Structure 1
Amino acid sequence: MGINLSKGQRIDLTKTNPGLKKGIIGLGWDTNKYSGGYDFDLDASAFLVGADGKVKSENDFIFYNNLQGGNGSIVHTGDNRTGEGEGDDEQITIEFDKVPSHIDKIAITVTIHDAPQRAQNFGQVSNAFVRLVDQDTNEEILRYDLAEEFSIETAVVFCELYRSGSDWKFNAIGSGFQGGLHALCTNYGLEVG
C-alpha cells in the first residue's frame, strides 16, 4: 500500500524509491448519473514542460492523438471513451532515466471531451484519483484522491512530476480550469487552431 497524499503535498519519488525506473501513472474516475443523454469521455494528457513552464513543441504534448513523447520515454496507453469498470481508466507510463533533459516537469491533466456540447463538467465526476505504480514490481507507491468539489470546470491538473537535481518528485495539484483542453494548451504555451 502506497502513501495517500493530500492536495498540495509533495513527495520524493526516485530518492525514496531508488529502484524506480519505470512508473505507471494511473488515472480513474466515476461519473454521477444524470439525464444528459451522453457518455462521459474523460481524456488524460501529459504536458512536458521546460524550465519556463511551457512546452517546446507539439511533440511535448501527449494525448489520445499523440501517444508518445520525450523520445519515447512517456507513453499514453490509449483512450478509454466511457470510463466504465474498476481501477485505472487511463494510464501514462514514464521511464524516468530516459526523459530528455530539457523537460523539467510533466503535468498530468484530465479533460472532458466535448464538455460544452454535452453540458458536462467536473461537478458531475466523483471518486477521481491519480496513482503512481512501479511498473517493474507492480507496487503502488502513492495515491492522490481528488476530494475537491468541482462545479463548472471542464479540465483538471491532477498532478505534476518534476525534477529536483537528478531525482524526480511528485506534487498533488488538483487544480480546475474552465475552457477544457484549449485552456490547458494555452496555459502550457501551445498554439491551438
Structure 2
Amino acid sequence: MAIQLAKGQRIDLTKTNPGLTKAIIGLGWDTNKYSGGSAFDLDASAFLANDQGKVQDDLEFVFYNNLKSPTGAVEHTGDNRTGEGDGDDEQIVVDFSLLPAHVTKIGIAVTIHDADARKQNFGQVSNAFVRVVNPENDEEILRYDLGEDFSIETAVVICELYKHGSDWKFNAIGSGFSGGLADLCRNYGLEV
C-alpha cells in the first residue's frame, strides 16, 4: 500500500525500494464546476536542477514542447488538454541511472495554460495529486494530495525529487506561484 504524504513531508525513494532505477510521476486533477467560458488545460513540467536549484540548460526543462531531456533521463509522456477521467492526467518518467551528475534536484510542477487570459487559477482546481509508481511492478510507492490551499495561483511546484548522498528522496512541496509558467521558470533560473 502506498504511503500517503502531507505537505512538507520527505521520504526516501531509492533506499527503501532497492533496485528502483525508474519512477513514473503521475499527476492528476479535476476542475471545479465553474465555467468561465474557457476549458482548463493544465500542464505538468519537470525542471532538472543543480545543487543551487537552477536549471543549467534550457533543454533540461521538460514540458509539452520539450518532451525529453537530452540524456533521456526525464520524459513527459504527452499533453492532456482536458484532464477528463480518473487516474493520472499527465505522467513524467524519471530514469535515475541516466541523470547527469550535475542534476541533483527535479522540480515537478503544474501550470494552467493561458491562465491570465482565461481568468483561471488553482482555486478552481480540486483533487490535485501526485503519485510515484514503480514501473517494474506498477506498485504505487507514495501519494501526495495537494488539498484546496490555493486561490489566485496559476502555477504550483507540487514536489521535488532530490539526491541525498547516492539515494533519491521525495519532498512534498505544494508551493504556488501567481505569475504562471514564466514565474516558475525564473524560480529555476531560466530566462523567459
What TM bracket, shorter-length normalisation? over 0.9
Moved over 6 A (4+): none
Q: Please list the CA deviations of residues 30-69 of structure 1 after superposition, one character each: whole Å capped at 9, or x if unmatched.
A: 0001121111000000000011111001111000000001
Answer yes or no: is 1:46 the counterpart of 2:46: yes
**Corresponding residue number in structure 1 for 2:72:** 72
The residue type paired with residue 173 of structure 2 is I
Give secondary structure in 1 for the equivalent of 2:132. Answer: strand
CA distance in 2 between partners of 1:146 and 1:152 (Å): 15
RMSD (Å) for aligned C-alpha atoms: 0.7
Query: Does the Cα contact within 8 Å between 2:123 and 2:148 map onto a contact in 1?
Result: no
Give secondary structure in 2 for the equivalent of 1:184. Answer: helix
Query: Does the Cα contact within 8 Å between 2:126 and 2:148 map onto a contact in 1?
Result: no
Distance 1:125 1:144, change over 3 A: same
CA distance in 1 between partners of 2:45 and 2:189 (Å): 15
CA distance in 1 between partners of 2:181 and 2:6 (Å): 25
The residue type paired with residue 71 of structure 1 is T
Give secondary structure in 1 for the equivalent of 2:16. Answer: coil
Query: Does the Cα contact within 8 Å between 1:47 and 1:188 map onto a contact in 2?
Result: yes
Give secondary structure in 2 for the equivalent of 1:68. Answer: coil
Which runs of 5 or more residues in structure 1 are unaligned? Answer: none
CA distance in 1 between partners of 2:70 and 2:18 (Å): 22
CA distance in 1 between partners of 2:158 and 2:148 (Å): 11
CA distance in 1 between partners of 2:184 and 2:111 (Å): 9
CA distance in 1 between partners of 2:177 and 2:144 (Å): 19
The residue type paired with residue 38 of structure 1 is S
**Corresponding residue number in structure 2 for 1:18:** 18
Answer yes or no: is 1:166 the counterpart of 2:166: yes
Once the two structures are TM-superposed, the CA of residue 70 in structure 1 deviates from its matched residue by: 4.9
Once the two structures are TM-superposed, the CA of residue 148 in structure 1 deviates from its matched residue by: 3.9
Kindly tell me the number of residue pairs found equivalent between the two proteins: 192
**Corresponding residue number in structure 2 for 1:97:** 97
The residue type paired with residue 145 of structure 1 is D
Which runs of 5 or more residues in structure 2 are unaligned? Answer: none
Give secondary structure in 2 for the equivalent of 1:69. Answer: coil
Q: Please list the CA deviations of residues 10-30 of structure 1 after superposition, one character each: whole Å capped at 9, or x if unmatched.
A: 000000001211100000000
CA distance in 2 between partners of 1:67 and 1:56 (Å): 17
Range 150-159 or range 50-59, more displaced = 50-59
Q: Please list the CA deviations of residues 96-125 of structure 1 after superposition, one character each: whole Å capped at 9, or x if unmatched.
A: 111111101000000000000000000000
Once the two structures are TM-superposed, the CA of residue 126 in structure 1 deviates from its matched residue by: 0.2
Q: Please list the CA deviations of residues 57-96 of structure 1 after superposition, one character each: whole Å capped at 9, or x if unmatched.
A: 1111000000001500100000000000100000000011
Query: Does the Cα contact within 8 Å between 1:148 and 1:174 map onto a contact in 2?
Result: no
Q: How does 1:1-150 map to 2 (within 5 A)?
A: 1-150=1-150
CA distance in 1 between partners of 2:68 and 2:24 (Å): 14
Query: Does the Cα contact within 8 Å between 1:70 and 1:99 map onto a contact in 2?
Result: no
TM-score (norm 1): 0.98
Query: Does the Cα contact within 8 Å between 2:50 and 2:56 map onto a contact in 1?
Result: yes
Distance 1:111 1:166, change over 3 A: same
